[in-house]
A and B are shown apart, each in its own frame.
Chain A
Amino acid sequence: MATVEACAIDVVYEGVDRPVRALEACSLTVADGEPVAIIGPSGCGKSTLLLAMAGLVSPTGGEALIAGEAVRGPRLRTALILQDFGLLPWKTVFHNAALGLEVRGVSLPQRTERVEAALARVGLADFRDAYPGELSGGMRQRLALARALALDADLLLMDEPLSALDALTREDLQGLLLDIWRQRQHTAVLVTHSIEEAVYLGRRVVVLSPRPGRVAAIVDNPGMGAEGYRSTSAFYERCNELRGLLAAEGAFDQDPHVGGEGS
């Protein structure tokens, strides 16, 4: 049971000349097995919220609970996928995918079995001895996903995992993420810049306000996961609804090159 509860999380970190309030009383509950997408203006603290759930940022106030337990550090069955995929260039595909298991002291035969299954699942079985430098962007992202699958994670935290990919590869991987979720029914929290991606992959879409980040709105998206959802009118309506909410939060007012990501 990997429910995620963010209870009134405050995060203040030292900025260049003054403290920066990244999150303020940010509360959110994600049910076990629920896929949730988080969207908001640039620099609204989305990534910080995700890192607090991953146990890599300690909240200055409030706390994050996973499966009812307070998060004090990285948790064994949480997998984090970062924007730049978090791959190590000096490790082969196999060893990158096996890293989580190796760090946790899983025996080599077991590691091999689980990693090979995970690589096969994401379509990288033929590339196990290649280095990340030899892979395309989409393949690197598949590898990051394989690492999470090999861990048998019950909670997948994703920080704009597809934002570095071209549109076609991106859609392909969104499909893969959805497939894998349908199959495994893990809890998923996806931070994204893309309205369409949020509606495609989030059963609920959380809109954060500009810094300091708070939950401004939550949009229910019951049609998520249905076959061919992307081309239905319900999908478009949901996207438009979100666009309106984001505009109200000032997401389209700022120069996109100025806002930092606040992670």
Chain B
Amino acid sequence: MRRLLGYVGAVLALLAGWWLLSVAVGSPALPGPAPAISDFVRLWWSDLFPQLLHSAWRVVASMTMGALLGAPIGLLIGRSPRLDSVAAPMVFLTYPIPKIVFLPVLLVLLGIGNAPKIALITLIVFFQILVTARDAARGIPAASLLSVRSLGATRTQVFRHVVFPAALPDIFTALRISTGTAIAVLFFSESVAGTSGLGYYILDAWGRIAYSQMFAGIIAMALLGVVLYEILEMAEARVCRWTRVGR
């Protein structure tokens, strides 16, 4: 409830800022919140919601795949010095490369549908989760491992009872942070190629000089980001309950 009130306050402040800015700039390219919101409501079911579904599917599918690939591989690398000595230099060399530059290659190889967009975001999220999971796995206190090993746990059991849960809060944090990147890359890839998704919608409205519709699309994209972030936040609170107790 408190959280909801916080959101309402923040939205009101943002709308006020937006309105002031639009008055100050006085250009049709920056309409005030009123026409944008009225277009948002008018076009929600016909245009915005279907495009939002396209975009949401792409970003959710790629974040899921990125996490499902990145987390286990990162944890394995982090717990195995031998694997780490091989994989870490490779990761550190490739991590700083902006993966977005591969979009043209992916477009040639995978066409202009969902595949290149999902592949690109997956690649980016994969690296962010991989690096976080590796560091988290390396930082696990020796005492936690020792106590579970003393009970006769196998390697798999140590992973299940110690390594995975210990790294889980860090993995969730990385996922939440990567929603921002994921949506930015989504916008870029949708605006470059294809005829669906909010990125396409925003750029198309821009081309038609329909600025209030463009802003309606921007609101929809922001909504997508907020909803994703909140879902991850709620999932984390549920799955990592121990981080919210006592202390």
Contact = CB atoms under 8 A, between A and B. Distances in A.
Query: Is A bound to B?
Result: yes
B70 to A, nearest CB: 20
A20 interface: no
B2 interface: no
Contacts of B146: 51, 56, 80, 82, 86
Interface in B200-236: none
Contacts of B246: 131, 133-135
| Chain A interface SS verdict (over half) | loop
Interface in A63-80: 73-76, 78-80
| Chain B interface SS verdict (over half) | helix
B169 to A, nearest CB: 9
Interface in B147-171: 147-154, 157, 161-162, 165-166, 168
Contact of B151 (A87, A99, A130, A132): A99
A104 interface: yes
A103 B242 contact: no
A100 B151 contact: yes
Given A84-B143, A88-B162, A131 B245 contact: yes
Given A76-B152, A103-B152, A103-B161, A131 B147 contact: no
Nearest to B157: A103
Given A86-B144, A90-B166, A99-B161, A131 B242 contact: yes
Contact of A133 (B151, B153, B168, B245): B245
A54 interface: yes
A82 B147 contact: yes
B148 A90 contact: no
A103 B241 contact: no
Interface in A81-104: 82-91, 99-100, 102-104
Contacts of B161: 88, 91, 99, 102-103
Contacts of A104: 151-152
Given A88-B161, A90-B240, A82 B149 contact: no
A88 B245 contact: no
B152 A90 contact: no
Contacts of A84: 143
B238 interface: no
B247 interface: yes
B143 A88 contact: no
A88 B144 contact: yes
A134 B151 CA distance: 24
A103 B160 CA distance: 10
Contacts of A55: 150
A71 B18 CA distance: 72
B134 to A, nearest CB: 19
A55 B146 CA distance: 11
Contacts of B242: 89-91, 131-133
Contacts of A103: 148, 151-154, 157, 161
Contacts of B151: 74, 99-100, 103-104, 151
Interface string A119-141: 00000000000111111000000
A132 B15 CA distance: 44
A69 to B, nearest CB: 15
A226 to B, nearest CB: 32
Nearest to B164: A90
B165 A74 contact: no
A100 B157 CA distance: 11
Interface of A: 51, 54-56, 73-76, 78-80, 82-91, 99-100, 102-104, 130-135, 151
Interface of B: 143-144, 146-154, 157, 161-162, 165-166, 168, 240-242, 245-247
Given A86-B143, A86-B150, 13 more contacts: A56-B150, A74-B150, A74-B151, A76-B152, A82-B146, A82-B147, A83-B143, A91-B161, A99-B161, A100-B152, A103-B154, A134-B246, A135-B246
22 contacts: A56-B150, A74-B150, A75-B152, A79-B150, A80-B146, A82-B143, A83-B143, A86-B143, A86-B146, A87-B147, A88-B161, A90-B240, A90-B242, A99-B151, A103-B152, A103-B157, A104-B151, A104-B152, A130-B245, A133-B245, A133-B246, A133-B247
